[in-house]
């Protein structure tokens, strides 16, 4: 499949939009009293990563980083754009103008590997949240969040396809 560079701005819009859909989901969960990720911890991890430290015993206990909340949000949205670019790279740029649900859901669901296999271990929560009090519940939450991201990929591409007709 091909990914023309001129389609990158649309991939950015899809990634930003899908990440915003996921954030709306997380906001709903928070309002329902369900704990969600603190983006400052992502920023703290990224700040330490830039200084050469990948693993932490507990990211909440690591030294805070100046601007960590902003770094967390920036990273969150940059990763969303990267995942959208992967989807379009796999499906081809034509997918933007004629999106289908299954590839978006497949990519969204597969992105759960990032927190389970990289972020959680690096931040001290263990592989697939194994060092948390409720690892299965945390993994299922991550899966639900990333499924919503996949739905967001599809919905945002549908909006772009509708506008471009």
Tell me the pLDDT tens digit for each residue of 91-146.
Answer: 999 999 999 999 999 999 999 999 999 999 999 999 999 999 999 999 999 999 99
Token pair belonging to 92 = 């081809």
Domain that includes residue 52, residue range: 5-164
CA 160, CA 162: separation in Å to the nearest integer?
5
Domain count, the chain: 1
- What pTM was computed for the model? 0.94
For 161, the 3-state DSSP assignment is helix
Q: Tokens 């590997």 sit at which residue?
A: 113
Residue 7 is predicted with a pLDDT of: 87
Q: Where are the alpha helices (DSSP H) in the chain?
A: 8-31, 39-50, 68-91, 94-97, 101-110, 113, 120-122, 135-164
Pseudo-torsion of CA 150, 14, 36, 31, nearest 10°? -100
Residue 5 is predicted with a pLDDT of: 83
Q: 113, 142 in Cβ contact below 8 A?
A: no
């Amino acid at each position: 499949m091909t990914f023309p560079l001129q389609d990158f701005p649309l991939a950015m819009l899809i990634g930003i939009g899908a990440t915003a859909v996921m954030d709306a989901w997380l906001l709903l969960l928070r309002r329902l009293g369900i704990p969600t990720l603190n983006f400052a911890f992502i920023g703290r991890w990224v700040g330490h990563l830039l200084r050469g430290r990948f693993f932490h015993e507990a990211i909440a206990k690591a030294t805070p980083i100046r601007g960590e909340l902003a770094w967390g949000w920036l990273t969150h949205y940059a990763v969303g754009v990267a995942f959208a670019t992967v989807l379009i790279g796999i499906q081809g740029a034509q997918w933007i103008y004629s999106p289908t649900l299954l590839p978006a859901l497949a990519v969204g669901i597969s992105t759960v590997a990032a927190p389970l296999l990289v972020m959680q271990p690096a931040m001290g929560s263990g592989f697939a949240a194994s060092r948390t009090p409720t690892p299965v519940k945390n993994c299922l939450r991550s899966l639900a969040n990333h499924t919503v991201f996949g739905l967001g990929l599809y919905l945002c591409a549908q909006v772009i396809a509708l506008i471009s007709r």
